[in-house]
């Protein structure tokens, strides 16, 4: 068995759709459309929230953070995807792969944390509207944003160093056109149980805790709403949560699917791994702005108003 470590790390080889290499330029059209929708949608949300002072509230500040993290994921994954599908450039340097992996997972954790704060925002707005502006002040929102970033960086920071302690043999083909932690460690020829345990712990203390707290927030919201006498007021209160619930499902369902397949789906066809990987990283950035533009009247009104002025 030939091992590679230390200064002799070989580049990894990215994968598109095995067996469909001749169709990669055509397939890339779909990816370009999806990335274009994601970029334009999230940039539009950021611009509208920045320009319209009436939207300078905690709900929309958190939404702008979500849009920024979605843009971060797009900017991190787009270069290697386009190089692969347009120019058939499969090689990615070992350190560059670790850097890409780091930022992908940081932005993913940021998304999870932001969705949790948005759930808390809806809980405060519905259960205690009189204190809403005093609880979620601009300084508090800024501190939350910095805290979420520091949490994501601190949690993911050990990942690349734990991977560098591994040895890699001749197998160096990744399952996707970008680098993910579980995808890299499965190529190791040495014992990577520590890396697997680390990855599992990260999922439990971040996505796991966040999802439980989001669920508890919505249970509290539901209890509060059911205490409202008027059905019209109940519907109005719950309607403010629809966009956020959709965003939570768009992030957590693909993430859960990818995690289960990577850990327990050894006999699942490789095409399923590949498709789930793209769904995990592309669906939230593409559909989040669509959901918020459709379901949030303030944003929809501003966008339509600006389009009519053109």
100-126 pLDDT, tens digit per residue, is 999 999 999 999 999 999 999 999 998
Of all residues in the chain, the percent with pLDDT exceeding 70 is 93
Do residues 57 and 121 make contact, with C-beta atoms less than 8 angstroms apart?
Answer: no
Q: How confident is the model at residue 305 (pLDDT cuts 50, 70, 90)?
A: low
The mean per-residue pLDDT over the stretch 218-241 comes to 83
Give which of 111, 107, 261 is closest to 182, Cα–Cα.
261
Summarize pLDDT for 28-87 with one digit per residue, the tens.
Answer: 999 999 999 999 999 999 999 998 888 889 999 999 999 999 999 999 999 999 999 998
d(CA 272, CA 141): 39
What pLDDT sits at residue 269? 78
| Both tokens assigned to 119 | 């759930």
- Cα(123)–Cα(117) distance, integer angstroms: 10
Q: Average pLDDT for residues 174-196, to the nearest whole number?
A: 89
Cα 50 to chain center, whole Å?
Answer: 22
Give the Cα separation of 68 and 239 in Å (integer): 24
Helix (H) or strand (E) holding 91: strand 91-92
Tokens of residue 180, six digits: 């993910």
Total count of residues recorded for the chain: 310
Mean pLDDT of all residues belonging to the chain: 87
Q: What is the DSSP letter of 158?
A: H
CA within 13 Å, CB half, 297: 4
| Residue 13 β-bridge partners | 91, 173
Mean pLDDT for the stretch of residues 141-154: 96
- Burial pattern 278-305, b for ≥16 Cβ within 10 A else e, equals bbbbbbbbbbbbebbbebbebbeebbee
Number of other CB atoms surrounding residue 29 within 10 Å? 10
pTM to 2 decimals? 0.91
Give the residue, 270 or 74, on which the prediction is more confident: 74
| Alpha helices per DSSP H over the chain | 24-51, 58-87, 94-127, 132-135, 138-156, 158-164, 181-185, 193-202, 209-226, 231-239, 242-264, 270-295, 297-309
Q: For position 4, what pLDDT does the model report? A: 45
Residue ranges of domains in the chain, CATH in brackets: 20-308 (1.20.1070.10)
Instruction: Report the distance separating Cα 19 and Cα 23, nearest Å.
Output: 9
Q: Which of 3-12, 75-84, 185-194, 241-250 has the highest mean pLDDT?
A: 75-84
CA dist 218 and 241 (Å) reads: 9
Which pLDDT does position 3 carry in this prediction? 42
Roughly what angle, to the nearest 10 degrees, separates helices 242-264 and 94-127? 140
Q: Which range is least confidently modeled, 140-154, 208-222, 235-249?
A: 235-249
Q: What percent of the chain has pLDDT over 90?
A: 50
More confident residue, 33 or 262: 33
Helix axes 58-87, 24-51, angle to 10 degrees: 160
How far is the C-alpha of 183 from the C-alpha of 204, rounded, in Å?
A: 19
pLDDT at 144 over 90: yes
Check if the beta carbon of residue 45 is closer than 8 Å to that of residue 292: yes
In angstroms, the first-to-last Cα distance of the chain is 65
Does 292 have pLDDT greater than 90? Answer: no
The CA distance from 169 to 261, in Å, is 23
H or E stretch covering 12? strand 12-13
């Amino acid at each position: 068995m030939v091992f590679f470590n230390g200064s002799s790390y070989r580049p990894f080889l990215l994968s598109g759709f095995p067996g469909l290499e001749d169709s990669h330029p055509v397939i890339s059209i779909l990816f370009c459309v999806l990335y274009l929708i994601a970029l334009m949608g999230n940039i539009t949300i950021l611009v509208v929230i920045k320009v319209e002072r009436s939207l300078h509230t905690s709900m929309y500040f958190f939404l702008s953070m979500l849009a920024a993290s979605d843009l971060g994921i797009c900017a991190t994954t787009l270069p290697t995807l386009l190089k692969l599908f347009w120019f058939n450039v499969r090689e990615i340097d070992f350190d560059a792969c670790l850097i890409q992996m780091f930022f992908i997972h940081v932005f993913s954790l940021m998304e999870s944390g932001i969705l949790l704060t948005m759930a808390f925002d809806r809980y405060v707005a519905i259960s205690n509207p009189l204190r809403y502006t005093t609880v979620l002040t601009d300084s508090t929102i800024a501190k939350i944003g910095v805290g979420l970033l520091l949490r994501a960086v601190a949690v993911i920071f050990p990942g690349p160093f734990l991977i560098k302690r591994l040895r890699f043999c001749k197998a160096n083909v990744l399952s996707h056109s970008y680098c993910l932690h579980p995808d890299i460690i499965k190529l190791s020829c040495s014992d990577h149980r520590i890396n697997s345990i680390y990855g599992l712990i990260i999922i439990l203390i971040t996505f796991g805790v966040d999802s439980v707290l989001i669920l508890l927030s919505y249970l509290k919201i539901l209890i509060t709403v059911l205490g409202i006498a008027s059905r019209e007021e109940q519907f109005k209160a719950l309607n403010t949560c629809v966009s956020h619930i959709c965003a939570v499902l768009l992030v957590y369902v693909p993430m859960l699917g990818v995690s289960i397949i990577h850990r327990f789906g050894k006999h699942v066809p490789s095409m399923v791994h590949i498709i789930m990987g793209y769904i995990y990283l592309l669906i939230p950035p593409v559909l989040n702005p669509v959901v918020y533009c459709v379901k949030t009247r303030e944003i929809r009104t501003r966008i339509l108003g600006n389009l009519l002025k053109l």
